[in-house]
Amino acid sequence: MKALSQKRRHPLAAVALLLLGLMLTGGLYAVATTANQAKAATTYSANDVQEGGKLFIANCATCHGMGASGSPDGPSLVGVGAAAVDFQVATGRMPMQAQGPQALQKPRQFNDEQTHELAAYVASLGAGPAIPEAKYTDGGGDAANGGVLFRVNCAMCHNAAAAGGALTRGKFAPALAGVSNQHIYEAMVTGPQNMPVFNDANITPSDKRDIITFLDTIEATGSPGGAALGSLGPVSEGLFIWIAGLGVVIAFTVWLTSRTS
């Protein structure tokens, strides 16, 4: 007992306990944060990585630097994952035509195989969000729950009808109609442009699937009330009605008084 008591009073005992506690906490956190992560839908070969590296050097290194370590003209891509590459390249946002407040969607410059190889190369540089499994992008989730989640997390920028909206300094949240389910999922986990990252600890893969299902539903349903007036929302639409309605009343009044005179 005396020997055990002396060991507890050893100067390094507190340090050892602290390290043990940190290791235990870190291990539990890692388990908790990866429990709900969507698994990768694709695997990459050494040849994919090699060919992707060649494409990267020829087309991307000018801005993102050799080894994708970043430069004054482009951020580092180490750790962004395959999902970020697939989203940016497959939608034509990258490579950018010119520096600006936001990368614009345009016709893609790389085919599916080249996009796959670029994603493989960037994925090899560091762990990051992977391209999701098809079961999370099949549109078979709960649309009602997805609508609640969308209005809480997304509607302030993308509009309650997913019609998009203006942001600051020339930036904007794009409309989501016509965007593939895979790209919507990838945008949520990578946070392109001004969009925040919704990792699996914020919104689980199942909830992301519900959001995608909601977007598919409203796109297929359209506007049951008639003309959507751009889906600008009740305030803007109400203001339009007031201005147009008053304009018609004033115009009719002017016409009527001119007739009587």
Q: Which parts are annotated binding residues for heme c? A: 60, 63-64, 154, 157-158
Q: How many CB atoms lie within 10 A of CB 7?
A: 9
Residue 166: its H or E element: strand 165-166
CB 87 within 8 A of CB 183: yes
Task: Collapse the DSSP code of 185 into the 3-class scheme (helix H, G, I; strand E, B; otherwise coil) and give the result.
Answer: helix
Q: Could you tell me which residues are annotated as the binding site?
A: 60, 63-64, 154, 157-158
- Concatenated DSSP letters of 57-121: HHHTHHHH-GGG--BTTB---TT-HHHHHHHHHHTT-SS-SS--SSPPP---SS-HHHHHHHHHH
